[in-house]
Structure 1
């Protein structure tokens, strides 16, 4: 195993690899340990927003054109209304989760990160971590082990917190791709995300509050989507996951910091989970370089503020169908307003822009 490292990352998913890459770029020796081995998959919408692509470029992760498919914006669809908006600058990109993971592994290896797969961490003594039967020493330890983080529990930060849990199912379909947007189809009990991936393949992800709901159960709520997929063939099996909205008051203790879903999470409805993790990784590496994890704590709170706000707003639309229907009618009446809201969602606006957009939306509500 070796005697130790400057930074040990527990968890080799996208958040952990981003943390490892960013720390290596700060000059640290870095080791990643994970009980699994690549390819590591997760049921998600597989659409990378422009901010996510920008963070990947900052980390030096190369996403190649043939890895997936560019999409130009976001489209909301319900039984009666459809409204869409283009991204104001760079585009989004649809890419299989396993392909993204491999590109991040490539980058980590290229910059000198040591990767220990099939190597679970089983404990956190005061002077390092337990890998197998040995203690592996590290100056800094990063917990990137997901929603059900053991690291969070080991360091005493897994206290009861307000959280909202929903359930996801994802499947890929092969057939003619009909959209150049990432689509969100709104139903009475669920949403379905549609992301074009290229090579005549589309990712379809269902999110609901019902742990037993599957894609086949949901088609009657989404007749437009069912029509598009009528002649498409499933190219993968259905895969499930849990999406949780959770906030932590503290994301580090001593020399151990949490990142990604281990440090709190936003509902998948935002499409911002990966972007948030990558931005946290960059902020954490900066804090490690200065030797001050309180600096990361402040940055973490600031980075999470906008995604948490947007998550709450979008979950309101999920919880109250009449509010959602009225909102979509308002946006359909003034498509430019949806473009402004998308810019707010992506963090491409000032507080003044947000205030003006809120006033316009309020006026539309009054006059709709």
Structure 2
């Protein structure tokens, strides 16, 4: 009987499996998709995520990120990271690096989903296979979360993301967040001659239409072709529980507030490590406590910022406020950037 099955072979799922191998657990991974998978995301790793991946001996290629810059017309505000550099990394590059590291320690995902989970007292049957625990790291719209009826009430205010890449030399080592009346555009340098552009908004519009609301970006990107945009959403996802018996939810599967603060991978890695420690110690209830401890800063700041900027007067003043209160802006950025 296995110690652990991980549902999901994306970055957080593979990291969960790597932590499990390090803890001496017999682990298997289920992932129905084939090969390296792309996804619409900002592709900026916070310093905490970079440190965690390097601790797992994952070799990363990308572009250094030194901080966060807010931009609105001619006004801007910038905060530099105080806990090491971040890294802009293509999602496919990140997934490939984790896949290679997993293979190096003997982890080869099975190409199939989790369809049935049955409780058997001191173990589970996952599609008929006995295992002591199951960790679901199967993403924003987690099939395991739905299968076990752990999804919370959907949010009435729905935000969506689109992302594309432009071949050009980055003009900044920061992640730039451009604010407009319809949402935010995130500029992330991901290579020496490649920049990722992601737009978050409540609007269901085409990529080209969304970009017209960010004139500074349009000016910089004019005449340069971009890759086919990928979309994701609704972003806000809730879970009623993070632990049910011998099933634990990590990463986006455990609930997701918004991509506005860019901390998704860092938080997912910290949750993966905590979940594996709970499994190794045969104390799954510990993870429910650790999940709250790890996520409170992220939830508080992200909830607050998303709620506040849904009001038009606040949205129009957010960059001005960051510029006139640089200490507050710096503290908020580095609360999210610091390792868990």
Structures share fold, TM-score greater than 0.5? yes
Does 2:12 match 1:15? Answer: yes
Deviation track 1:172-225 (CA, whole Å, cap 9, x = no partner) reads 001232121100000101111100112311000011102x22321123221111
- Please provide the CA RMSD for this pair: 1.9
Q: Distance in 1 between matches of 2:311 and 2:157?
A: 16
Superposed displacement of residue 279, structure 1: 0.3
1:1-368 alignment, distance < 5 Å: 4-63=1-60, 67-117=61-111, 119-126=112-119, 127-130=124-127, 135-160=128-153, 162=155, 164-210=157-203, 212-234=204-226, 236-347=227-338
Q: Is the 8 A contact 2:238 2:255 kept in 1?
A: yes
Show structure 1 runs of 5+ residues with no match: 350-368
Deviation track 1:210-247 (CA, whole Å, cap 9, x = no partner) reads 2x22321123221111111113221x211111152334
TM-score w.r.t. structure 1 length? 0.86
Show structure 2 runs of 5+ residues with no match: none
- The secondary structure found in structure 2 opposite 1:270 is coil
Distance 1:165 1:59, change over 3 A: farther
Q: Distance in 1 between matches of 2:74 and 2:140?
A: 36
Q: Distance in 2 between matches of 1:9 and 1:247?
A: 20
Distance 1:161 1:176, change over 3 A: closer
Distance 1:187 1:297, change over 3 A: same
Distance 1:162 1:197, change over 3 A: closer
Q: Distance in 1 between matches of 2:57 and 2:224?
A: 36
Q: Distance in 2 between matches of 1:123 and 1:249?
A: 19
Deviation track 1:69-125 (CA, whole Å, cap 9, x = no partner) reads 1021111011241111111131111110011001111121222323213x2222223
Q: Distance in 2 between matches of 1:81 and 1:317?
A: 20
Q: Considering fraction of residues, name the structure with more helix.
A: 1
Partner of residue 364, structure 1: none
Partner of residue 353, structure 1: none
Q: Distance in 1 between matches of 2:269 and 2:156?
A: 22
Distance 1:299 1:328, change over 3 A: same
| Structure with max Cα Rg | 1
Deviation track 1:239-262 (CA, whole Å, cap 9, x = no partner) reads 111152334342111211111111
Q: Distance in 1 between matches of 2:285 and 2:186?
A: 37
Q: Is the 8 A contact 1:163 1:246 kept in 2?
A: no
